[in-house]
Structure 1
């Protein structure tokens, strides 16, 4: 089938771009330790460590080997899922990241769903009521949404819905295995706090695209042929105007992962973002390197999904048209 060939072509192109970018990114990431001058010896022994003690501990961690040899060992281990051990406690970085990644992905995924559903709803409604009072009201609200920081929204949500009304827990996380509602009730407020900017950008981009697409000649031709306005909107206008909106989503996912640092602190979640922040403050280079590698993989995978969906909706995008 043609669409299967397009998906395979998209995958091949993405892999061809991803591999060299990934190698360069991992090399730069690994070079952080040499650039920073940090050492596990100083974390364990303090600033008063003697040169002999520092050399002994660095030898135990293999840091006395040539830089490229260290990088090759780290790269091959990373490809097997081994991101090394934390300087702080000696625990595997993969295990430490695995403990928090489920929390952050739950919050980010729900925020993305809220952003897509609400953004598409507001954007389509504003476009269908273009130049009316409703359109201007939605545009104004989306402008306010776009300038509201996630930490401000989070504090307001906690104050009103958790502390004031008591509808949701103010902090903590419950795994999905323990029940859908307990899991959802703990991540809904942080997801809402993260979603405002995504809702605004998706709504504004979709509104602009729908208005522009509705003025194309093919819409007039479809009306002349007797197609219903609803069919024209769902099968032609929305499909042809959704490309830029999907591209916006590809840019928003990294922001959602990065914004988890703030929301996880406000809502007391021990997630990926908070682990990254704590590791950076402690100077735990292997943990920071692991966080960067996982972030790169998450962003690349999500953008690959966006490209596949975009190619399915708009085949011309895969031909460079």
Structure 2
């Protein structure tokens, strides 16, 4: 008697070595996709940044020579700085140095831009990072409370409060904070900065608290609103209803199902808030007398120090790209729905 033929589909029969091709781990794909997007963005942004120098027509000779400029001296200075070479040669040399961490020299005083920006960026990143932390913590608390008490008077109060916060510019908030907490009450300094290595962490936090709070208002508002929206939508999903029917505790349903799947919009908005925090640092640093990254970029632009402005822009691009990459990775790890289709 002949044995019956196998009913398994042809696609199920292993080929070659008999092993099915392995798929890359999901977390690797979750990292590779954002990197594949951000690398060309970085290259394009840095090219446009360098192109702006060529379009501006500025020269180190006009900064260094001033009224003493003559055609011969201008030509000599431009030759010394290498700005008389073809555009593509200058760009390739600049990009080669950039990949090695060399941002060039300042036209204003000849100092190394990378060294200057490192010191200035520590000031700005201290304020922006603390503002981001305040925005995440306070915004998350407000968003969770609003979602748990949806359509209640407390929810309406939180919604109105965060809406008012979102329309208040950082410089207005900064001036008000200085007037009340620095001048009026004397709880915080009105200006200045102290590095953690110099005066300790406590003094460092004392100086950056008011600038960070002034910058954090918009982040608090957006995180709270997005988190409320995401949690409210997630609480209506079938898997949440099913978890409640199976008798899971409200705490477990919220932490394992609602929060994890509803946090996506709030995490996503952080990727857009970080560039705003860096941009707002220019005004905030002027109000609080901070010699930071934003103030350095503004002063360099007024002086026509193009390499310094380019260096500041490149650092901004790198920070924004890296931060958005981290946001995408965190979003993929926290929210399983974010990696569907990967």
Shorter-chain TM-score category? over 0.9
Aligned pair count reads: 318
CA contact (8 A) 2:231 2:258 kept: yes
Superposed CA deviations along residues 5-51 of structure 1, whole A, max 9, x for unmatched, are 33322332233222222222111111111100111111122266222
TM-score, scaled to structure 2: 0.90
- Residue in structure 2 matching 1:102, options 117, 122, 133: 122
CA contact (8 A) 1:213 1:241 kept: yes
Superposed CA deviations along residues 154-211 of structure 1, whole A, max 9, x for unmatched, are 0111111111111111111111123111000000100000000000000011111111
Q: Does 1:247 align with 2:264?
A: no
Structure 2: how far apart are the matches of 1:36 and 1:249? 33
CA contact (8 A) 2:189 2:206 kept: yes
Q: Does 1:190 align with 2:195?
A: no
Within 5 Å, which residues of 2 pair with 1:20-35? 20-35=40-55
Q: RMSD over aligned Cα, in angstroms?
A: 1.4
Structure whose CA Rg is larger: 2
Distance 1:184 1:83, change over 3 A: same
Structure 1: how far apart are the matches of 2:182 and 2:341? 49
Q: Does 1:205 align with 2:226?
A: yes
Q: Does 1:78 align with 2:101?
A: no
Q: Which runs of 5+ in 2 are unaligned?
A: 1-23
CA contact (8 A) 1:119 1:201 kept: yes
- Residue in structure 2 matching 1:166, options 183, 186, 205: 186
CA contact (8 A) 2:35 2:325 kept: no
Structure 1: how far apart are the matches of 2:124 and 2:204? 13
Partner of 1:260: 281
CA contact (8 A) 2:50 2:310 kept: yes
Q: Does 1:55 align with 2:75?
A: yes
CA contact (8 A) 1:146 1:200 kept: yes
Structure 2: how far apart are the matches of 1:47 and 1:250? 46
Partner of 1:214: 235
Q: Does 1:132 align with 2:149?
A: no
Superposed CA deviations along residues 255-310 of structure 1, whole A, max 9, x for unmatched, are 00110001100000000011111111111110111011110110111111111111
CA contact (8 A) 2:261 2:337 kept: no
Q: Which runs of 5+ in 1 are unaligned?
A: none
Partner of 1:14: 34
Partner of 1:40: 60
